[in-house]
Amino acid sequence: MTIEISSDASKAAIASIQRYFSENMDEEIGNLAAGALLGFFLKEIAPIAYNQGVADAQARLQARVAELDVEVYEDEFQYWLKQGRPGKRRG
């Protein structure tokens, strides 16, 4: 599965890469080079974070499913217990 981001997110990411290079690497990086670096990160590094996110979501959902019987459990045959002690109707 290819990880894709929106055009707006891509533009913001490229601008962020350019700013990072400018502030931390003491050199400029062009728009094309920053875009290529972003593409590399999306293909090579992003799947690590994506897969971890999927694993985290899956673990959370499995934990919630495991609690389902506790949250929505209803005791059976409770009518007579809730009505009080059965007896003869008095008329």
pLDDT given for residue 89 in this prediction: 61
Question: What does the DSSP 8-state code read for residue 45?
Answer: T
**Is 54 within a domain?**
yes
Could you read off the pLDDT of 8-34 as tens digits, one per residue?
A: 999 999 999 999 999 999 899 999 999
Token code pair at residue 4: 């894709």
- Cα dihedral 57→59→60→62 (10° resolution): 120
Give the pLDDT confidence score for residue 91 in this predicted structure.
54
Q: How many domains does the chain have?
A: 1
Residue 29 in any domain: the answer is yes
Q: Produce one character per residue of 7-18: b if its CB has 16 or more CB atoms within 10 Å, e if not.
A: eeeeeebbeebb
Whether 78 is in a domain gets the answer no
For residues 41-47, average pLDDT? 96
Q: What is the mean pLDDT of residues 67-82?
A: 85
The structure's pTM equals 0.68
